[in-house]
Amino acid sequence: MASSPKTKRAASNQDRIRSLLGQYGIGIVLIIMMIVIAIMEPRFMTPGNIINVATQISINGLLCYGLCLCITTGGIDLTVGAQLALTSCIIGQTMTNMQWPAFLSILAGVGVATLFGFIDGLLIAKFNMFPFVVTLSMQLVIRGLSQVITGGRAVMLTNDWFTGIYSNKLMGIPMPIIIFVVVTIIMYLMLHWTKFGRYIFAVGGNVNAAIASGVSRFWVIVGVYTISGVLAGLASMIYTSKTGSAQSNIGVGYETDAIAAAVLGGTSFAGGIATIPGCVLGIFIIGLIYNGMNMIGVSSYYQSIVKGLIIIGAVMLDMVMNRNKH
């Protein structure tokens, strides 16, 4: 070999730094954003506002993990917005109109979301249908169901324990943050430290090779869509508790922010590439776009443009810093 082990090792270290930079280079975007916002609005950096942001991102955060998994297997889950509505309506109907105990209502709501995630996975894995098509159609079905369940009406949630899910604090930390952190840890361990996580990467990276290596495509696909369902259900629980109201028209377009966060976090639409720490960064960036614009006071007419440009810019920057990924 021409190159000595030494130069190879050096090159390898360099590679690692570059790859790390590439993987989490989006962190730089996050830091720049924080500095810019903090300069323009000093109140941004108050502990109160930071806790505020962390609380707000929990809903999008949970959705993002689900989408990250689906995208990593080469798919997509467009149902999450509708799932948000359905779970909310089920929780509202059972808790307020049928007087179920809060815990049981949540179980029913999240359970149904899980079931629909499972059905999505089944249609994709068993019948080999394209995830985009399946979830686009299922989204109609799921939202339709929530309309049928509530007859389009809003249901108020008065159970204190339930509405406390969003506003209560544990040792000064709001519950949504705790839920988000716990889910993040679970997702991290699952994706990066278990067999199932490896199989997700394998199926996303090369499904034929994965099958030939004894991975069950069926269970991996069904698994990730089911998980996405569970997470959407949990997100809906937080959402419903936050607004104190269950209705069928919520969550429209929520997949957009979740997808954007996943992509900013380095999740590749080509499949097989994703990291949970990356997603966390992406989730914070999206959260900061909203909070930052509100803090700085960007006119409502420009908010949509700014958001779009930041996402494109960040993805492009990531691309440049991390060329060899593609």
Partner 1 sequence: MAENYILECSGISKAFGGTQALKDVQLHVRPGEVHALLGENGAGKSTLMKIVIGLYQQDSGTMVFDGKPYQAKGPVDAIKSGISMIHQELNPEPHLTIAESIFLKREDTNGIFLNKRKQNERTQKILDDFGFPYPATTLIRELKLADVQMVEIIRAVSTNAKMIIMDEPTSSLDEQETQHLFRVIRDLKSKGVAIIYISHRMAEIYEICDTVSVFRDGHFIGTSALKDVSNDDLITMMVGRKVENQFPKVDCPIGDVVFKAEHLSGKGFEDISFEVHAGEILGFSGLVGSGRSETMRAIFGMDPLDSGKMYLNGQEFVRKHASDSIRQGVCMVNEDRKNFGLCLFRSIRENTSLPSLPERQKGLFINQSREKREVEDVSKTLLLKAASIEHNAYSLSGGNQQKVVIAKWILAAPKLLILDEPTRGVDVGAKAEIYSLMSKFAAEGMAIIMVSSELPEIMGMSDRVLVYHEGHISGEYFRKDILSGEVTQEVILSSAFGVA
Partner 2 sequence: AEDTTEVPAEGVTYEADVNGDGKIVVGYISKNFTDPFHAPINARAQEYFDQAVKDGVIDEWTGLLDGETDANKQIDRAADCISKQCDIVIFLPAEAEASDPALVQMADAGILVIEVNSKSASCDEKAIAYVGSDDVEAGNMLAQWVVDNCPDGGKFIHCNGILGNSAQIQRTEGMHEIMDQHPEFEMVGDFDTKWDGNLAADAASDSMSKYGDELVAIICDNDGMSSAAQKMCNDNGREDIICIGVDGVEVPLQMVQDGSMKATILQDGVGQINGAISIVESLVKGEAFDPAPVIPFVLVTQDNVADYIQ
We find the least distance from the C-beta atom of residue 215 to its own copies, in angstroms, to be 19
CA 294 to chain centre: 22
The Cα–Cα gap between 319 and 326 comes to: 9
Q: Which does 103 bind (CB under 5 to 8 A by kind): partner 2, its own copies, partner 1, none?
A: none
Interface with partner 1 in residues 174-193 (CB under 8 A): 189, 193
The count of residues interacting with partner 1 (CB under 8 A) is 39
Q: Which does 59 bind (CB under 5 to 8 A by kind): partner 2, partner 1, its own copies, none?
A: partner 2
273 near partner 1, judged by CB under 8 A: yes
126 near partner 1, judged by CB under 8 A: no
270 near partner 1, judged by CB under 8 A: yes
Binding partner 1 (rule: CB under 8 A), the pick from 31, 148, 209, 305 is 209
Contact 92, 157 (CB under 8 A): yes
Radius of gyration of the chain (CA): 21
* Residue number with CB closer to partner 2 (13 or 249): 249
We find the least distance from the C-beta atom of residue 89 to partner 1, in angstroms, to be 35
* Residue number with CB closer to partner 2 (76 or 288): 288
* Residue number with CB closer to partner 2 (51 or 315): 51
Q: Which does 324 bind (CB under 5 to 8 A by kind): partner 2, its own copies, partner 1, none?
A: partner 1
Q: Which does 139 bind (CB under 5 to 8 A by kind): partner 2, its own copies, partner 1, none?
A: its own copies
Interface positions with its own copies (CB under 8 A)? 76, 123, 127-130, 132-134, 136-145, 147-148, 151-152, 252-253, 256, 259-260, 263, 268-270, 301-309, 311-312, 315-316, 319, 326
Q: Which does 193 bind (CB under 5 to 8 A by kind): partner 1, partner 2, its own copies, none?
A: partner 1
Give residues in contact with partner 2 (CB under 8 A): 41, 43-44, 46, 48-49, 52, 55-56, 59, 85, 146-147, 150-156, 158, 163, 166-167, 239, 242-245, 247-250, 252, 290-291, 294-295, 297-301, 303-304
